[in-house]
Structure 1
Amino acid sequence: MNSGIWIYIVPLAVNLCVAVVAKALKWLTYSGAASALVVGFLAYRFTGPGGWVLLMLFFITANILGKVSRAVSISIETGIQKKGGTRDWAQVMANGGLAGASALLYGLNGGRIALVMFGVAVAASTADTWAGEAGILSKRPPLSIRTFRPVPTGMSGGVTWLGTASSLVGSIMIAMAWYATFADYSDPSWLFLASIVAVAGAIGSIADSYLGATVQGHYYDPERKQITEHETRDGVKLELCRGIRWIDNDVVNFLSNAIAVLVGSGFSLIVL
């Protein structure tokens, strides 16, 4: 067999195994598993095993935190959040699509800036997911990032000290792993780039909260007398009370990830 074929077979086989296991664990739906296979393949093929491990670091920790938070949270059962813990294709692409695209860009000789974009995309998704999942565990009620008034647990746009701290830890963790994986330790500019990955990742989480509190569609459920992310209840369209109808949490995740990548790549131009 042509040795060049293995650079495609190995990434495909590894990520197929991950997709199958994730589906069996109910971390992903069938569409989510297929999307994760694509994103994982791009990361492994174009950034190498190290870049793929970086992506898996986000994926595994996000799912473990999600299972823990949902075990003690009532936000899903009370109908606030639109989706549960099993991620579909839209959730996978919203959180991993730009990481996969950045990996592809790097493989097409995008240089270090594409590598920074990849790191920022993973850091932003990690920061946002850790903030949301850890924030649900907070004993203090979340505050709206826009008005600083209390909001129900699980409501998009709400922030807590625990969630914010977890967001920073998650972003820094990815930045450190990114540096350890890709950096030329003799070149001090890599430390600056790793700092950009950490800061831009945290900015992405903040952007997610702000967009969630402003433009994400929220609806009033008269039966449960609460605001929810669901557009309908028992087939009946609910009244839009805030935001834009077509902007849901998946769109917000993608937009905040894009903001983080743009910020990270912009600051990187200072060094590169």
Structure 2
Amino acid sequence: MEDQLVQVMIAVLISSLIALRAYRKNSLDVSGAFAGFFVMAVHLSVNYRFGAMLLAFFFTSSKLTKMGEDRKRTLDADFKEGGQRNWIQVLSNGGIASVLVIAFWGLTTSQDTCLDSKQSKIITALVGGLIGHYSCCNGDTWSSELGVLSDEQPRLITTFRPVRRGTNGGITKAGLVAAAAAGSVIGLAFILPGFFTKSCTNDAFLKQLFVIPLSAIAGLAGSLIDSILGATLQFSGFCSVRNKVVSKPGPTVKRISGLSILDNNGVNLVSVFLTSVLTSFICLYIF
């Protein structure tokens, strides 16, 4: 109990400092900072490895969002200085994970565990869902932020015809490679702290290393799912007045692709959910 209290205090301190820093750096607005604090505190309070995955996603995606801002400003109709995110965007990328973390806490009281379905299928599925969740989030962000900076002409994932940069569902080779790399970073963030927080049997320890290629695949798959949803259920059109790709119809907007069913947050939420479910089942098979 005393160790758990110390962990919670450390989690609150770290989450407060990071949320404040993110607000000052314009990575989060006020509502996003409060939501980010809550999500981060929950993750770190329950398991340091969960917190490590969240922090790996947050820091790398924030850094890439600010890369090439001058060019992104000319392409993105919804561009915000510093990539400032609000509470809706924070929960779109961390809400499902928080539910999984709380479920994990309720079943294990924060006791760290190796991925081993022979010991517990439920825990393995929950942790697998978390790995898939952040692999998807990181993969989608890296592919979007780096893909838009690529000189390569994006192609719509459903038809493979060339489209303008910033079109929802547009993919590039650079973006796909970035998505896989982003997923592997999440796998490393999960594996490395485990060397210090949990001792596994030799067989189980070696199996844990499969998390890295699995997370790379999850990052790529999550990005592809996001692109398919973006190309079909999210509207993209070119505004002749703003001279940019926009996500809402209008009198000066010529449709490129998609329907106005989901916005960007909705696409993120659905793609994260589907990737989490798929990764959970794969983890049950592998571990």
Which TM class, normalised by the smaller chain length? Answer: 0.7 to 0.9
Q: C-alpha distance in 1, partners of 2:70/2:241?
A: 25
1:199-254 deviations in Å (ceiling 9; x for gaps): 2232111100111001113356464476511467xxx9979875443410111011
Match of 1:207 in 2: 225
Match of 2:185 in 1: 173
Q: Which amino acid aligns with 2:284?
A: L
Q: Identity of aligned pairs, percent?
A: 25
CA contact (8 A) 1:75 1:153 kept: yes
Deviation at 1:164, TM superposition (A): 0.9
Deviation at 1:156, TM superposition (A): 1.3
Kindly indicate whether residue 217 of structure 2 is the aligned counterpart of residue 218 of structure 1.
no
Map 1:83-162 onto structure 2 (within 5 A).
85-109=83-107, 111-162=123-174
SS of alignment partner, residue 140 of structure 1: coil
Q: C-alpha distance in 2, partners of 1:163/1:18?
A: 28
**Using a 3 Å threshold, how does the CA distance of structure 1 residues 167 and 4 change in structure 2: closer, same or farther?**
closer
Q: C-alpha distance in 2, partners of 1:196/1:36?
A: 27
Deviation at 1:270, TM superposition (A): 1.7
CA contact (8 A) 2:154 2:172 kept: yes
CA contact (8 A) 1:216 1:252 kept: yes
**Using a 3 Å threshold, how does the CA distance of structure 1 residues 159 and 24 change in structure 2: closer, same or farther?**
same
Q: Which amino acid aligns with 1:16?
A: S
CA contact (8 A) 2:152 2:172 kept: yes
Match of 1:37 in 2: 37
**Using a 3 Å threshold, how does the CA distance of structure 1 residues 82 and 241 change in structure 2: closer, same or farther?**
farther
**Using a 3 Å threshold, how does the CA distance of structure 1 residues 231 and 72 change in structure 2: closer, same or farther?**
same
**Using a 3 Å threshold, how does the CA distance of structure 1 residues 225 and 71 change in structure 2: closer, same or farther?**
closer
CA contact (8 A) 1:106 1:112 kept: no
Deviation at 1:113, TM superposition (A): 2.2
What 5-or-longer segments of structure 1 have no aligned partner? none
Kindly indicate whether residue 281 of structure 2 is the aligned counterpart of residue 263 of structure 1.
no
Deviation at 1:121, TM superposition (A): 0.9
Match of 2:60 in 1: 61
Q: Which amino acid aligns with 1:53?
A: A
Q: C-alpha distance in 2, partners of 1:68/1:94?
A: 22
SS of alignment partner, residue 75 of structure 2: coil
SS of alignment partner, residue 167 of structure 1: helix
**Using a 3 Å threshold, how does the CA distance of structure 1 residues 185 and 171 change in structure 2: closer, same or farther?**
farther
TM-score normalised by length of structure 2: 0.82
TM-score normalised by length of structure 1: 0.86
What 5-or-longer segments of structure 2 have no aligned partner? 108-121
CA contact (8 A) 1:157 1:209 kept: yes
**Using a 3 Å threshold, how does the CA distance of structure 1 residues 7 and 172 change in structure 2: closer, same or farther?**
closer
